[in-house]
Structure 1
Amino acid sequence: MYLNSEEQQTEMTHTPSSDMCEVGLSEVSEMMDLLHIDVETDVVEDRPGRGDALCSKNVLRKQRHWERQLAAKKSKRKEEKQRRKLNREHESGASADNPQLSKRVLKAITRERLAEAQSTGLKLCVDLSMTDCMSDKEISRLAGQLRRLYGSNKKATRPFHLFLTDLKEDSRLYRECIRMNEGFLNYTMDITEESCLDLFPPETVVYLTPDAEEALETVDADKVYVLGGLVDESIQKKLSFSRARELGVRTARLPIDEYMTKNNNAKNFHSKILAVNQVFDILLTLCETGSWTETLQAWFPRGKGYVVAPDDSLPPSTQT
């Protein structure tokens, strides 16, 4: 069947338009679906995104704070290292004309000095026979004091020949010295289970104890000086004096009464009992200076409640 020209024109006009409308509506619907999905996705993902941003800011702030702290610590360590270096140079008198010796050379010099002291140095024993009377805390403190005593001897121009007597290998102190003091068994000193009387004649021994009546005047090369291995907070009175009486040897005390006076303090505290390393530092300095006033001024602990007396208040026999 053939259509006339008007019908053909009408058919050609309406049929494509209908198809195009249907296609257009379908595309719009799909686009709306896509837009709907994107909107929902944005809504869902928006909140976590904000949280991540806030979290990131906190992390960055903490990281910057940590970096500032780290930089401050590095700067402080650098300053401290520089300060120690300057102190070492000052103590050793280092300069352009007198460069600082290397650690290896200094150690060699120290070993040589200590080795020489083993044959020519003044003799000093630390009597460690009384450790059974001490608590574990006191044992630990004594081990630390022995380390400081040895450290002072290493630095001394004229070191002593040191002996640790009555130190048994199965004792608490022996184990604590090994635990606390690195290289203890390599110390340049004599460590023995024997007593001072097993090593030296009684007439040469002078036992230093704060309870002695006689004041020590000088350090003699032909004498052997003994320090009681007790910590300064021990509550047992006259223990070192009793030990000296048991050995039957001469006793002496530091001349605190002769050169010092009590210093008024809020606690009204006065004590003449010193740690073994403190007594040793006093003996070392006395050997170098020959002056009790200078020695006690330098080494007697201020917290003990005593100060060096003025020269005009000293007894005539002690004035120079």
Structure 2
Amino acid sequence: MLMLIKCVVRSTVYQVVSFPAVSAVRPLLRLTTSHKVVRFLASMSSAEAPPSLACTTVHSVSEGASLGAEAAHVDQAANECTAEVAKATAECSEGATLSKNQRKRLVKAQKWEEGAAKRKEKRREKRQERRAKHKKEFDEGTREPRIFQEDTVQVDVNVVLDLSYEDKMTPHDVKKVRQQLHTSYAANRRNLRQVRLHFTSYGGSIKEQCERYSPGICNWKCNLTEQPYYSVFPKEQIVYLAPESPNVLTSLEEGKAYIVGGIVDHNSQKGLSYQLAEEKGIYHARLPIGDHLHLKTRHVLSIVHVVEILCEYVNKPDWLAAMLKVIPQRKGLTLLSSVAGAKQDNDKIDNADDENAVPEVSCEAQAEDRVDAEKQTTE
């Protein structure tokens, strides 16, 4: 029976290795398969056979020693054949022709590997320069010390981002709002005195994008709610910030909720927040930008800039310092004092020019003078 199994397996292996696609590894397949057959037969001879196979196992026991020797010989031959096949495969791969793009990728990969040490050294030098720069700024007092969250204090000033403007924005603008939510939250966390941050009307595509790109938003130290702001806070505590409002925000009071419209419209929805506040009968106010600064553009700031100004004022109650630190220079901001001084200087120059100017003489007077001069000459 053992001889029958050997013949069947060997004939099958011969049919497989005779296929042209595996001609390069025929010796390895033959030796590996023969090795498996020998191991299989040896295991059968050493195991206890059932009564129906008693006649077969008698011959298997007597052939145990010869099978062990044959297995060792097959192991050695298989190892030699494996080494030969690996050598032939390497020679074939070295001699194989590569395309132009493959050669380019190979050269690029080699250059990248060669420059690994240089890149590491360059990163180390930049890190040392950055540390030295920060240390110098700390010593000079121009850089604020690092703030740890254990040392922060939360004040009772509520800054609310109203996210109910989704139907008035394009998908691209909704994406910008989501990004500004991240920046606003980070700006508040960088301060020693932090405000209470709320995201109201939190739903729709804004919520989907936040959960997709920031899965940890549920762990943020802020209030996420799908309810509108007028359902979260009493009406008498709400102050809606609108740049068109005639009321000026003079200070931030504890217990109040300052609403910031979460909209990016590129000035296409002018006066929208002011209009909604008027319709709901909610008190509104604007930041005191016009009382301290002169801007070349409209007094409309982004979500991030408004939140940063409020956070800066909470830490240092100075509107001018907060706005100078936050408002970008592209707005063309100048101090009202300097503008007033320049205007006074221009007025003084105009007055001096008027005093030193030669009085104008009418044409009739010039004609009369000319006639008088001619009479005196004839006389």
Paired amino acid for 2:308: D
Paired amino acid for 2:119: K
Contact 1:121 1:158 in 2 (8 A): no
**1:188–1:213 distance in 2 versus 1, CA, 3 Å:** same
Q: Which residue of 2 aligns with 1:278?
A: 305
Q: Which residue of 2 aligns with 1:32?
A: none
| Higher alpha-carbon deviation: 64-73 or 174-183 | 64-73
What is the SS of the residue equivalent to 2:320?
A: helix
What is the SS of the residue equivalent to 1:121?
A: strand
Give the Cα–Cα distance (whole angstroms) in 1 for the partners of residues 238 and 105 of structure 2.
Answer: 70
| Structure 1 residue 212 corresponds to structure 2 residue 245 | yes
**1:234–1:289 distance in 2 versus 1, CA, 3 Å:** same
Higher-RCO chain (CA-CA 8 Å, sequence separation at least 6): 1
Higher helix share: 2
**1:209–1:76 distance in 2 versus 1, CA, 3 Å:** farther
For structure 2, the residue ranges without an aligned partner over 5 or more in a row are 1-94, 96-103, 140-144, 342-379
Q: Which residue of 2 aligns with 1:304?
A: 331
Deviations along 1:257-292, one digit per CA (max 9) or x if unpaired, are 1111235xxxxxx23221111111111112222222
Contact 2:161 2:198 in 1 (8 A): yes
Q: For 1:107-256, what aligned pairs fall within 5 Å after superposition?
A: 109=150, 113=152, 117=154, 120-168=155-203, 171-231=204-264, 233-256=266-289
Paired amino acid for 1:250: Y
Q: Which residue of 2 aligns with 1:42?
A: none
- Structure 1 position 239, deviation (Å): 1.7
Deviations along 1:22-52, one digit per CA (max 9) or x if unpaired, are xxxxxxxxxxxxxxxxxxxxxxxxxxx9xxx
Number of residue pairs matched by the alignment: 235
**1:89–1:153 distance in 2 versus 1, CA, 3 Å:** farther
- Structure 1 position 217, deviation (Å): 1.2
For structure 1, the residue ranges without an aligned partner over 5 or more in a row are 1-48, 50-57, 94-99, 264-269, 315-320
Paired amino acid for 1:135: T
Q: Which residue of 1 aligns with 2:71?
A: none
Deviations along 1:188-238, one digit per CA (max 9) or x if unpaired, are 111111122112221111111111111211111132111000126252221
Q: Which residue of 2 aligns with 1:73?
A: 119
* TM-score, normalised relative to structure 2: 0.55
Give the Cα–Cα distance (whole angstroms) in 1 for the partners of residues 148 and 319 of structure 2.
Answer: 30
**1:215–1:134 distance in 2 versus 1, CA, 3 Å:** same
- Structure 1 position 172, deviation (Å): 0.2
* TM-score, normalised relative to structure 1: 0.64
**1:252–1:87 distance in 2 versus 1, CA, 3 Å:** farther
- Structure 1 position 62, deviation (Å): 6.8
Contact 1:205 1:224 in 2 (8 A): yes
Paired amino acid for 1:288: N
Residue 260 of structure 1 is aligned with which of 289, 293, 297? 293
Contact 2:238 2:258 in 1 (8 A): yes
Contact 1:211 1:241 in 2 (8 A): yes
Q: Which residue of 1 aligns with 2:340?
A: 313
Q: Which residue of 2 aligns with 1:291?
A: 318
Contact 1:293 1:308 in 2 (8 A): no
Contact 1:143 1:181 in 2 (8 A): no
Give the Cα–Cα distance (whole angstroms) in 2 for the partners of residues 273 and 297 of structure 1.
Answer: 15
Contact 1:232 1:273 in 2 (8 A): no
% of aligned pairs identical? 28
What is the SS of the residue equivalent to 2:301?
A: coil
- Structure 1 position 143, deviation (Å): 0.7
- Structure 1 position 309, deviation (Å): 2.9
- Structure 1 position 74, deviation (Å): 2.4
Give the Cα–Cα distance (whole angstroms) in 1 for the partners of residues 318 and 274 of structure 2.
Answer: 26
Contact 1:297 1:307 in 2 (8 A): no
- Structure 1 position 63, deviation (Å): 7.6
**1:87–1:245 distance in 2 versus 1, CA, 3 Å:** farther
